[in-house]
Amino acid sequence: MTDTAAIGNYKPHEREDLTAAFDPLHLDKISELARVDAGERDLVRAVAYKGHLPFDGEMMDLLPNLGVIANYGVGYDAIDVDAATERGIRVTNTPDVLNDDVADLAVAMWLMQRREMEQASRWAREGNWKEKGEYRLNTKASGGTAGILGLGRIGREIADRLSAFKMEIHYHSRSEKDTPGWTYHADPVSLAGAVDSLFIALVGGAETENYVSKEVIEALGPEGVLVNISRGTTVDEGALLDALESGALGGAGLDVFRGEPDIDPRFYKIPSVVIQPHQGSGSVATRGAMAQLQRDNISAFLTGNALLTPVN
C-alpha cells in the first residue's frame, strides 16, 4: 500500500528509480486507474505522470485524496489544470532542464532539411558517391531570416543558436519582449511572411490549436521551411500536408505530430520532410534531469515543502 502512483510509459530504469524513492503503484496507462481497488486509490496523494493521454477531472475523481500531479515534461497540455485547481490538486512540470536538447534538435532538423543530409547520407551509403560523383546542390542554411513562434524559454534557446548561424531573428509572442535587434510581429502571418525559416516553440493545448494555419503556411511559401518541436496540435496538419505535397511549402522538420506515434502516413512519402519520433528531450542526461525534477517535486509535496516547479 502506497501514497504514490506512477502512471505512464516509463523506461525500466525510470521505474526502478521511482520504486526506490516511493514504492509507487505502477500503471502503464491512466485508463487502468478505474480497475484499481478503491481502497488502494484512496491512499494515493501523489501521481508521477508521464505521457500524452488526457488526465481529466473524471480521472482525478478516482483519486479522492490526490494532492499533486507531477508531470514528466515541460508541456502539461495532457493534464486538465483547471480541473486540478478546482479540486485543490497541485500540478508541477519539468521546465528548463530540457531547453538545450529541444533547441539542439530544432536546429539540427533545420540543417538536415536545408542541406538534405538524410538523403545525402542514404545516397552515399548506397554507393552513389563513388559511382556518380558529387551529391546534388541544395539550400544554404546560415545567413537567412528566422522566425520564432512563441518566445518562451525554448524559443529563446533556438533564437540564440540561430544568431550564431548569422540569422536575422524575427518573432511572434503573446507580448513584445526586450530583445534588442530582434523584430517583433503582432501576428503569425506577418511573421511567416517575413522569414524563410519558421520555428514553432508554442505551448500546446486549446489556446494554440491550429495556430499555424493555412495562411501562415502559405505566407512561409515555397522556399520556406517549418520546424516544429512543440506539439502537433499547434499546426493545421491537413494544410501542412497539402502544402508540402504541392510544393507550396518548401519543407519541414517535425518532431511532433497529431495522433503520434500513429502519424499520418502521408508524411512518410514526402522527401522534403525530416521526421523525428518526438525525441526532443530524449538524451540520457536530460531525461535523467527531468525524472529527478519530477521525483523532487513529489518529495517536496509529501514532506510539506514548497514545490520546485509549480504550474498552478
Active site residue 278: yes
User: Is residue 281 close enough to count as binding ligand 8YV by CB under 6 A?
Assistant: yes
| Candidate segments 67-75, 83-91, 189-197, 207-215, binder of ligand 8YV by CB under 6 A | 67-75
Which strand (E) or helix (H) includes residue 219?
helix 214-220
Respond yes or no: is residue 125 known to be catalytic.
no
All 3 cell numbers of residue 43? 491512499
Tell me: does residue 98 bind ligand 8YV (CB under 6 A): yes
Residue environment code for 132-164, b if the CB has 16+ CB neighbours within 10 A, otherwise e: eeeeeeeeebeebbbbbbbbbebbbbbbebbee
Least distance in angstroms from the C-beta of 133 to ligand 8YV: 41
Residue 160's closest CA among 233, 235, 77, 99?
Answer: 99
From 231, 237, 287, 295, the catalytic residue: 231
Q: Which is nearer to ligand 8YV, 98 or 107 (CB)?
A: 98
219 binds ligand 8YV (CB under 6 A): no
Residue 42, H or E segment = helix 38-43
Q: Which of 223, 154, 192 lies closest to 162 in space, CA to CA?
A: 154
Of these, 74, 106, 200, 291, which contacts ligand 8YV (CB under 6 A)? 74
What is the b/e burial string over 50-66, where b = at least 16 CB atoms within 10 angstroms of the residue's CB? bbbeebeeebbeebeeb
Answer yes or no whether residue 241 interacts with ligand 8YV by CB under 6 A. no
State which of residues 49, 72, 257, 301 lies at the interface with ligand 8YV (CB under 6 A): 72
Catalytic residue among 45, 170, 172, 278: 278
Look-up: residue for cell 486549446? 206
Beta strands in 4-142 (DSSP E): 4-7, 25-27, 46-49, 68-71, 90-92
Q: Between residues 152 and 224, which has the closer beta carbon with respect to ligand 8YV?
A: 152
Closest approach, Cβ 270 to ligand 8YV, in A, equals 23
Work out whether 50 is an interface residue with ligand 8YV (CB under 6 A). Answer: yes
Decide whether 219 or 256 has the Cβ nearer to ligand 8YV. Answer: 256
Catalytic residues: 231, 260, 278
